[in-house]
Structure 1
Amino acid sequence: PYTNSCRLRSEYFTRYIFKIFSNFHSRREVAFDEPHVKEGHLFTAQDLRWKRQRFVINPTFSSTKLKKMSPLINHSIEALMTKLTEQYQLGEPFDIYTFLKRFTMDTIWSCGFGLDIDMQNNPNDSYLIQSQRVFSSEYCLMAVGYETTSTALAYVSYVLATHPNEQLKLQEHIDSHFHPNTDNDIPTYEAILKMEYLDMFIREGLHMYPIVPVVINRQSTEDFHIRNVRTIPAGTIVTVDIYSVHFDPDL
């Protein structure tokens, strides 16, 4: 069956959709072939099932847990830098996105499942190729985290490549926070939080190139009237126009 859909200006989205959570807590359903995948994880869960999944997953992203993930992430970063250095030394153009996707996959598996799959060094491993059926919240982490993270890294890399002055400034900023051959040479959760220019650079990159422009939406559970606009029927999918918001000079 078809579902009504509409787009709202950002001020209406903030004023009504986000604040009146009781009527707009559901999201657009995403098509999955497996019913248990569709119903089992946060990205497609509806109503009370979504609330339960959110409650279960939230602790995973606490500051304490993120601090413990830092060594695992650094391990994947070291492998990535080795691969990029090897490609650079060949003196030939290469597709960095391929390496970023493998890096992201390694990081998700090590942080999410405690497994070192080493896809960066073994991209054609038969076990990895055959093990693509991951269920429920694990499937959500793989499907959602993999594409969004690797794509964000690709966009930021593109911005670096096309803005050499900002690239140099960012490199100097990063170098100022670390000292080679010392205990302060390895990035930590606390050190990253202090790197304001790095944070601003990544945010601006995602501002220019939003990675999921059609995902921020809500589905109404009841008829809802927005004054001077219209009545939104129950079941309508309401989506915010991310590009218009990001490139609005008045915001």
Structure 2
Amino acid sequence: MNQLTFLKNQIYKIIEEITYSGIAKITGYSCIAIVVLYCGKIWHAQRIFKRMGLRTPRFAFFYGNLPEILNNTQSNTLRKWTCEFGKTYGYYEGHLPVIVTSDLDFINEVFIKQYSNFMARKIYPWQFSDNSPKMDLFLSSNKRWKRMRNIINPTFSPAKLKELIPVMAKCTQRFIHILDKNLDKEIIISDFLNRYTMDTIWNSATGMDINCQSDLNNEYMQKALDVFKDLEDLKFGFRVTSYFSEFRPFILHLMTLATYLMGKISSTNELVDPLFWLTQHIHQVIEQRKRENIRRKDFSQLLIDSRIEDSENLKKNEKIVMSKFRLDKQMSFEEIEFNLVGFLLAGFETTSSALTYSFFILANHPDEAIKLQQELDDFYCKNDQNLDINFDNVSQLEYLDMFVKEVLRMFPISSNTVNRRCMFPTEVGGLRIPVGVSVTVDVLSIHYEPAIWGPIDPEVFYPLRFSPNIKRSQSAYLPFGLGPRNCVGMRYALMEMKMALAKILFNFNIVPTESTPKKLVNFTEGTVRRPKDVIKVKLVKRIK
């Protein structure tokens, strides 16, 4: 009996060992097969430009060309590659294919004539999916983008922007008052401009006066700066999604969960993701306005007025909308919150950077400051009228308009934001483009092309190249993108820039110091291209 039991136990043990061994082998072989298949998929994806007949810079398996872009800046890297490979070529972000072009006809075809085939931007590392409710106008695509754009467009109409004149005037006057306290001192002008643009944008978007111009340690200000630092450094989680694009939604959901738990556990805000922090505070603003039925003249109100209560109704509505070929003006509260966050960040950093570049130019080109001040004096002091500088009249300053355009030509937005993704297979310029391939514009190469911007050297600051009698292709100037998906806040940004510059130059002279750089060489780049060099200037009270 004991021998029989012993034999049974031995048999069970052998069967168990065989089973475990078989499972281990099957699991091992399955993992190897998955890795091999995935590597094969990457290998095949990184041959797409060879099949299309496009030249590419050298790239590494799995990594593509991302390491070179991340170690430099995208705009500078694309400009270097354009010199080497011509106006249209390809590169890989991990194994995602991106066509780069500086061919104006190609750009015009993609961004305008065939925009319905390119109704999405390229996939960003922080993007969940095309249909995620967590996407704002910038990242959304197809019918979701159409609906959002239809709702948001009226927000930036001249009539609506005029309603913001008192808000902008208050923030601009506060800015002038703060600068007045810092006369005859060497200042880092970007610090003041960051606080000014955040103050203006937050007031315009939410109606809340956070007065971050006076509070040097304002938390809203710090969190916004941290968001852009994360995008420029491309923190570890986003780097992972860049290489494992198929698993991006899953990785991002894990990151979101970790961020949420960190916010619950942490007793301080230092460990909380800055984008999550800003989103939560916008959520609180919207909830308070819903709860207390607060109404203000700001961007939030127009979006709230177009709301619907939940995402499920929104999905049903979208189906009805597309079947009837019309677009209802409705947004979920979740979409409103994400669009407000996107608007705050985009309006803050882009305008602040453009104004910083303007101060750099004015400090190094005193003749330009004199021309602008002469125009201001002639217009606002004419016949002793002493007009107030506001939205209605600042747009009539012709030389100021040319000055701003030239600043944005020499220091454009990052090429990383001027792109489109192919949603339907099509042909552009004899090139067959499959679904999923993105097209990015090499903005720097276009903005510095002598054939377009000559005969004066494009490296020279020369506002008169924007004289009204000079005509160029609409694809040659791209500070706000191009086509139906261009920057929806363009009017607001230009108004804010012009009002700030007019007020400052009317009251102060901008004087360079020994620390003021003569040329900007080093840049940092995420969604915005910013100077790494610290721009210091001195403001002197102007005697009129």
Q: How does 1:162-201 map to 2 (within 5 A)?
A: 162-179=364-381, 184-201=386-403
The match for 2:419 is 217
Question: How has the CA–CA distance of structure 1 residues 13 and 86 changed in structure 2, closer, same or farther, with 3 Å as cutoff?
Answer: same
Task: Single out whichever of 195-204 and 39-48 deviates more from structure 2.
Answer: 39-48
Q: How does 1:56-135 map to 2 (within 5 A)?
A: 56-89=151-184, 91=185, 93-125=186-218, 132-133=278-279, 134=282, 135=337
Per-residue deviation at 1:11? 2.0
Q: Residue 124 of structure 1 aligns to a residue in which SS? A: coil
Separation in 1, partners of 2:127, 2:450:
42
Q: Residue 415 of structure 2 aligns to a residue in which SS? A: coil
Separation in 2, partners of 1:76, 1:34:
36
Q: How does 1:142-161 map to 2 (within 5 A)?
A: 142-161=344-363
The match for 1:2 is 95
The match for 1:235 is 436
The match for 2:105 is 11
Question: How has the CA–CA distance of structure 1 residues 145 and 27 changed in structure 2, closer, same or farther, with 3 Å as cutoff?
Answer: same
Per-residue deviation at 1:177? 2.0
Separation in 2, partners of 1:37, 1:195:
43
Deviations 1:124-183 (A, max 9, x none): 245776652343111111121111111111111111111110111111112222239x87
Percent same amino acid among aligned pairs? 32
Judge conservation of contact 1:67–1:188 (CA < 8 Å) in 2.
no
Question: How has the CA–CA distance of structure 1 residues 105 and 34 changed in structure 2, closer, same or farther, with 3 Å as cutoff?
Answer: farther
Q: Does 1:52 align with 2:147?
A: yes
Task: Single out whichever of 186-195 and 233-242 deviates more from structure 2.
Answer: 186-195
Question: How has the CA–CA distance of structure 1 residues 46 and 188 changed in structure 2, closer, same or farther, with 3 Å as cutoff?
Answer: same
Q: Residue 451 of structure 2 aligns to a residue in which SS? A: coil
Which amino acid in structure 1 is aligned with residue 449 of structure 2? Answer: D
Task: Single out whichever of 129-138 and 45-54 deviates more from structure 2.
Answer: 129-138
Aligned length: 247
Separation in 2, partners of 1:185, 1:117:
29
Separation in 2, partners of 1:46, 1:219:
10
1:42 pairs, out of 137, 149, 174, with: 137
- Higher normalized contact order (CA 8 Å, seq sep 6+, divided by chain length): 1
Per-residue deviation at 1:56? 1.4
Q: Residue 380 of structure 2 aligns to a residue in which SS? A: coil
The match for 2:408 is 206
Which amino acid in structure 2 is aligned with residue 105 of structure 1? Answer: M
Separation in 1, partners of 2:132, 2:173:
33
Q: Residue 238 of structure 1 aligns to a residue in which SS? A: strand
Which amino acid in structure 2 is aligned with residue 245 of structure 1? Answer: I
Which amino acid in structure 2 is aligned with residue 13 of structure 1? Answer: I
Q: TM-score, normalised by structure 1?
A: 0.89
Which amino acid in structure 1 is aligned with residue 98 of structure 2? Answer: S
Judge conservation of contact 1:31–1:38 (CA < 8 Å) in 2.
no
Per-residue deviation at 1:184? 4.2
Judge conservation of contact 1:39–1:45 (CA < 8 Å) in 2.
no
Separation in 2, partners of 1:177, 1:37:
50
Question: How has the CA–CA distance of structure 1 residues 143 and 32 changed in structure 2, closer, same or farther, with 3 Å as cutoff?
Answer: farther
Structure having the higher Rg: 2
Per-residue deviation at 1:17? 3.6
Q: Residue 209 of structure 2 aligns to a residue in which SS? A: coil
Gaps of at least 5 residues in structure 1 are none
Separation in 2, partners of 1:147, 1:201:
20
Judge conservation of contact 1:13–1:240 (CA < 8 Å) in 2.
yes
Deviating beyond 4 angstroms after TM superposition, the runs of 4 or more aligned structure 1 residues are: 33-38, 126-131
Task: Single out whichever of 141-150 and 34-43 deviates more from structure 2.
Answer: 34-43
The match for 1:27 is 121
The match for 1:226 is 428
Judge conservation of contact 2:205–2:344 (CA < 8 Å) in 1.
no
Separation in 2, partners of 1:47, 1:63:
27
Q: Residue 202 of structure 2 aligns to a residue in which SS? A: helix
Gaps of at least 5 residues in structure 2 are 1-93, 223-268, 270-276, 283-336, 453-544
Per-residue deviation at 1:118? 0.6
